[in-house]
A and B are shown apart, each in its own frame.
Chain A
């Protein structure tokens, strides 16, 4: 390890941001043989549900859930040519989603999709949301949408933010057959948090005790729904064991942060990219220094060791406001690394609709970086700012991911394609 105060490293590709887009970009770059450095914060995944959406709703105003994302894609490309999905063909989209599922599997986490259709996932609010790539521990829950299953919901006494009774109430309004049971956890006293709960699921004795407590409620039930806390490192094994012990199909129900499925995603991505020799700077911010000789120079912040990074290409996957990829000021939104001009409504008063649940969504959520078809950020004249700077993920404009249910999809797809383009350009040289 070089302990000089000012070390310099060079790489082919620097990925800024370690969210879904950043991780997929780094993995794709490594698979293409590029020397990759990844930098970003470690906490973003705690705020994700663990579900990877592709396209759940289109058009936004209709609030109609799409049965298959591809149904809406054609319409989207016609009506919204600036949307990230409009820059890519279906085949590549599928390839990128498939790639994501594979790298997660290599990291020990299995995700499944239902033959290119959306699945409806029950949430801890008792609502259903459409998603595409779903953790194996949650997929069985998609079958309850038919309304014909006899459902048992379990919660844990003391686990904050999750109530089986609340979910059951919502489901009963949809005329589903639901019963509930509350499991006591004697070794955790008082109110406990999800991390401690999740760690317990890796213990066989705990699984036995839990199954025993559920026993009397099993009766004629067919499927068991649990909060999404069933283990951190071996969630699939824990679920299988629980299924064997209870004799029921089991599925997890995603809920409020901190999200354990999100943590599992993070662990799986990290395992994969570290296996593939990506160099990672954890919780280190990079500051852009200069363009120089076909290289882009950065300095890491962090006393006393500052590292200079000289990269041939950059993927800007720094995210939106929570991750500080975009910074909102009174009248203007700025991009925080390169100060790339950000597309957003001209006046502050136009940022939001007055009604939070307004069907059209809020214009500010469509703000972001404009790019060319290769995902390079462009200036006002639509010319790329720099040949080797690319942008991917939620920082891109024209994508209201909360309403479209397209967040993870745009991240995976844009990251995959951006890296492909960079690699192709590099090969030509």
Chain B
């Protein structure tokens, strides 16, 4: 169940998933094993709600196609169904209440205290409220039906041949005493009549009505409601509640794809899709954006295990953390107008690809691929870190950029000394000793464009910007071997670092121009 995401990369992808995997995935989903492994208590709340609601939907809501078909004695008021409905309903209510408590009291088990999720506190709340209301109104509905005199009378007419008279009164008494029906006027108590009523009940009612006390919650509610029984019955509150209950269920169906509840479809989908290793970047983008992105339930486990959490503590950039990054990505996918791309880019760059978030995600989202795709999207839109930016521009192209007007921005405070003052590099005798000891040249000579002594020579030729665009300047390890060994004591490494700074200033200016251009095009 905890296959690291990276092992998927070596999987060429299967056209037909094998049956064992299919069964395991199915069980994994039904029992939310990933969530169980991530947090037992949260799993418990969720399982209450899930199991309860699943039962209610399959057996109660769709009883025409499930229970009725399977059990010929089915009726919602027959045990065990009557009891089970209440049981599972109360599970749902308990789970919902626990969810609210957790949110409200901010019961988090680990060290994260700061308001890292304040903008996400209310996410998904509507879904929980809806579920809670549905089940709540269900209980109320059942209770209102229990106490309802009109419903009783309808039942009598449909299922018995009793007319107004003593026998009816006896039945009414039984139902008043034993089944919480609220009659107006109240039937006077009489043990003899009660016994007769019981007999009548056994004749007419018992085949479809088990002892009402097995619906333990509704019973309790009915007992309370019976204080206002007359009023409630007259206003036919049971009919109202039925409409409300049914309406809420329809609302849920309508609301489902747009709310957090869509995770019930998207999580299995995303897990299934994850097992198919995508071949191209476009397939990857489609996969992550199509399915995984919206399978996120904002549970926050990913950020609890994020390796670069201290980065967020110091910089305060919430987009360092996965749970926030994914929300920003959703906003981008929705083409939300005010999204901070800069924050997301910086945050994503901090990611070390350690894979912990992907391993723990209870929804099974392939977060690692998501971050890689994000990185790629930024590169495609020229919003990259300077290293990648430079690696993709040929030095000659970079030198051409010199003809554009320069806008030097904030970063220029560092005074560039070594590359302006010629005596730092003019003594270079091109002996190539620095190149010979450079480990980067040794490792990477095929892809290296300029060697250290060639970069020094570029400076001697007054080609600062060409020099700052070379790959050498950006792949330098700053091991200082060249600077140590230079016979002419040229500060080769320090010069290279200054060239990087120069390049960074230039890169910021170019990116600023490009971003402005893009905004103008869009608007």
Contact = CB atoms under 8 A, between A and B. Distances in A.
Do these two chains really belong together in a complex? yes
- Residue among A47, A192, A195, A196 having the largest count of chain B Cβ atoms under 10 Å: A195
B431 A283 contact: no
A42 interface: yes
A43 B432 CA distance: 12
B484 to A, nearest CB: 5
A196 B445 contact: yes
25 contacts: A41-B487, A41-B489, A43-B433, A43-B485, A43-B486, A43-B487, A44-B487, A46-B431, A46-B485, A47-B487, A188-B445, A189-B445, A189-B446, A190-B446, A192-B445, A193-B432, A193-B435, A193-B436, A196-B445, A258-B431, A258-B432, A258-B433, A258-B436, A283-B484, A322-B488
Interface string A32-68: 0000000001111011000000000000000000000
A322 B431 CA distance: 12
A196 B437 CA distance: 9
Contacts of B435: 193
A257 interface: yes
Given A41-B487, A43-B486, A44-B487, A257 B433 contact: yes
Contact of A46 (B433, B445, B484, B489): B433
Nearest to A324: B489
Contacts of B431: 46-47, 257-258
Contacts of A42: 484-485
B211 interface: no
B431 to A, nearest CB: 5
B424 to A, nearest CB: 16
A257 B486 CA distance: 13
B441 A46 contact: no
Nearest to A47: B487
A195 B437 contact: yes
A194 interface: yes
A194 B442 CA distance: 11
Contact of A193 (B441, B446, B489): B441
B114 to A, nearest CB: 37
B209 to A, nearest CB: 88
Contacts of B441: 193
Contacts of A46: 431, 433, 436, 485, 487
B487 A322 contact: yes
A321 B93 CA distance: 89
A60 to B, nearest CB: 26
Contacts, number: 44
A46 B435 CA distance: 12
A195 B487 contact: no
Contacts of A195: 436-437, 442
Nearest to A193: B436
A258 B433 CA distance: 6
B145 to A, nearest CB: 85
Interface residues of B, number: 16
Contacts of A194: 436
Interface in A181-202: 188-190, 192-196
A195 B487 CA distance: 17
A46 B445 CA distance: 21
A190 B433 CA distance: 18
Q: Which 5 A-B pairs have the closest CB atoms?
A: A195-B436, A43-B487, A43-B485, A258-B433, A258-B436
A324 B488 CA distance: 9
Contacts of A189: 445-446
Interface in B445-498: 445-446, 484-489
A46 B433 CA distance: 7
Nearest to B442: A196
A47 B437 CA distance: 14
Contacts of B487: 41, 43-44, 46-47, 322-323
A268 B445 CA distance: 29
A189 B437 CA distance: 18
A185 to B, nearest CB: 12
A192 B488 CA distance: 23
Nearest to A188: B445
Interface string B414-434: 000000000000000001110
Given A46-B485, A190-B446, A258-B436, 17 more contacts: A41-B487, A42-B484, A42-B485, A43-B433, A43-B486, A46-B431, A46-B487, A188-B445, A189-B445, A193-B436, A193-B441, A194-B436, A195-B436, A257-B432, A257-B433, A258-B432, A258-B433
A189 B447 CA distance: 10
Contacts of A283: 484
A322 B427 CA distance: 10
A44 B433 CA distance: 10
Interface string A164-187: 000000000000000000000000
Nearest to A195: B436
Contacts of A257: 431-433
- Residue among A44, A196, A257, A258 having the largest count of chain B Cβ atoms under 10 Å: A258
A287 B486 CA distance: 20
A41 B442 CA distance: 23
A228 to B, nearest CB: 14
Contacts of B446: 189-190
A257 B441 CA distance: 18
Interface string A321-333: 0111000000000
A190 B445 contact: yes
A189 B441 CA distance: 12
B262 to A, nearest CB: 53
Contacts of A188: 445
A231 to B, nearest CB: 15
Contacts of B485: 42-43, 46
Contacts of B436: 46, 193-195, 258
Contacts of A196: 442, 445
Contacts of A192: 445
A44 B431 CA distance: 12
Nearest to A197: B436
Nearest to B427: A322
A190 B446 CA distance: 7
Contacts of B488: 322
Nearest to A260: B436
A258 B436 CA distance: 8
B452 to A, nearest CB: 11
A25 B486 CA distance: 24
Contacts of A258: 431-433, 436
Contacts of A47: 431, 487
A196 B445 CA distance: 10
A258 to B, nearest CB: 5
A324 B487 CA distance: 10
Interface in B191-226: none
A150 to B, nearest CB: 34
Contacts of A44: 487
A188 B445 CA distance: 8
A44 B489 CA distance: 11
A273 B436 CA distance: 25
A323 B431 CA distance: 14
A209 to B, nearest CB: 19
A194 B435 CA distance: 10
A44 to B, nearest CB: 7
A324 B490 CA distance: 13
A66 B441 CA distance: 44
A322 B485 CA distance: 13
Contacts of A193: 432, 435-436, 441
Nearest to B448: A190
Nearest to B488: A322
A195 B441 CA distance: 11
B304 to A, nearest CB: 40
A76 B437 CA distance: 41
B426 to A, nearest CB: 15
A43 B490 CA distance: 12
Interface in A247-277: 257-258
Interface in A322-358: 322-324
A300 to B, nearest CB: 15
Nearest to A285: B489
